[in-house]
Amino acid sequence: MAERVLAINPGSTSTKMAVFTRDEKEMELKVDMDPEKVSRGNVYDELPFRKEQIEKELNEHRVNRIDIVIGRGGMLKPLKSGAYTVCGKMISEMKRSLYGNHASNLGAALAEHFGKQYAAGAYIIDPVSVDEMTALARISGVPGIERKSVAHALNIKATARRICEREKWDITKENFVIAHLGGGISVCAMRKGYNIDVNNALLGMGPFSPERAGALPLGGMLELAFAKRMDERSLRRLFTRESGLKGYLGTNDVRKVVSRIRDGDEKAKLIMDAMLYQLRKEIAAMAAVLDFQVKALIVTGGAAYSDYIQDTLQTHLGKSFNIVFHPGENELEAMADGGFRILDGKMRIYDYEKDEV
């Protein structure tokens, strides 16, 4: 009987899930959030509604057996790359937003719930807090403030493995710059399989993105915080959900922005080109971290489907890098790949409860 992995990926406006066997994706669903149910506070307020949505879909599709459940890993303490058994300590920390408030924090709780329902193991794999940064990369310039690794580690790791397997490259011997282009943008310097440097893709570093602010002039930040008397919650929401393309143009949909550019919208073109300008600067910076010894620049994430983005990067960076485009979030596939690696005993499983990290 075919083994099945259930992968669950909660996002800011939807929950994506899929059931995989080793040979195929049996079903894939995207369940949009009711805008009225989207929390403006702690994302854990959305948990009952998201459980209900998923249960309804699984019942309608008569999914009656699952061998392992993988949830999207959320905002946790710095962790090694690998798999983690879902446990009470993990869920408690994400429920309290101890390390940050993000929709991915719901992944572990959803995995636990459906793991119990199907009598299956529940895990997270390569959460956003995977940290392999070097000591040099952590220094910020201000004592007491440290640069942190918050990135799309799940897709970055899985995409690098997939490209290396396809091209017959040895990931343990090569260097890559990997850019994940989604609602947030992660640009990573991967040396021999380790993410030795990466921007904080949620809050504070790198290029602005479809909805995030990226690195900002300090003077402007101080003015917002003090002169305009914005509180911390408002600032965090502004910088992580209401900035970037959305802040300037009212939408975080790259396709809509490109359509406006093609209709002659000069502002849309200026803002999009500015985002890609900052992206190119960050890519070059990560190449410098690797002493410009880079096997390939890998570009992934949902926004990487855009011909406009691909053409711009190829025009400006094509002479300096071997660019490999691998569009798509690919997170469900990455979770499924990890699930089967767990079943085969090929992925190390860490115990978060015992701080075995």
Q: 131 with 292: CB under 8 angstroms? A: no
Residue 249: the pLDDT is: 98
157-167: average pLDDT:
95
pLDDT tens by residue, 23-78: 999 999 888 777 677 777 788 888 988 898 888 888 888 888 999 999 999 999 99
Backbone angles phi, psi at 279, to 5 degrees: -60, -45
Confidence label for 357 from pLDDT (cuts 50, 70 and 90): low
Tell me: the pLDDT tens digits for 4-25?
999 999 987 788 999 999 999 9
Structural domains in the chain, CATH included, are: 5-128+332-350 (3.30.420.40), 135-321 (3.30.420.40)
Beta-carbon contacts of 237 under 8 Å, excluding residues fewer than 6 positions away, are: 40
Neighbours of 220 (CB within 10 A): 9
In contact, 105 and 97? CB cutoff 8 Å: yes
Give the pair of three-digit tokens for residue 140.
């910020």
255's torsion region: left (phi>0), alpha (psi -120 to 50) or beta?
Answer: alpha
DSSP helix/strand/coil, 316? helix
What gap in Å lies between CA 47 and CA 54, rounded to an integer? 11
Q: Return the pLDDT at 39.
A: 74
- Per-residue pLDDT, averaged over 227-239, amounts to 90
Tell me the CA distances in angstroms from 255 to 77, 258, 272, 308, one per residue in order.
Answer: 34, 5, 11, 9
**Contact (Cβ atoms closer than 8 angstroms) between residue 87 and residue 122:** no
C-alpha 121/C-alpha 69 separation (Å) is: 6
pTM: 0.90
Average pLDDT, rounded, for the chain: 93
Buried/exposed 77-89: b ≥16 CB within 10 Å, e otherwise: eebebbbbbbeee
| Mean pLDDT within 252-278 | 98
Would you say 150 and 157 are in contact if contact means Cβ atoms under 8 Å apart? no
- Say yes or no to pLDDT of 356 above 70: no
Each residue's pLDDT tens digit, 289-347: 999 999 999 999 999 999 999 999 999 999 999 999 999 988 999 999 999 999 999 88
Task: Tell me the helices (H) and strands (E) count for the chain, helix number first.
Answer: 12, 12
Cα distance between residue 351 and residue 43, in whole Å:
25
Q: Is the predicted pLDDT of residue 196 greater than 90, yes or no?
A: yes
- Predicted confidence (pLDDT) per residue in 91-111, tens digit: 999 999 998 888 899 999 999
CB atoms near residue 305 (< 10 Å): 14
Report DSSP letters for 65-123, one per residue. Answer: --SEEEEEP-S-S-B-SSEEE--HHHHHHHHTTSS---GGGHHHHHHHHHHHHHT-EEE
| C-beta pairs of 213-217 under 8 Å, 24+ apart in sequence | 213/238, 213/239, 213/240, 213/243, 213/244, 213/247, 214/185, 214/243, 214/244, 214/278
d(CA 249, CA 272): 10
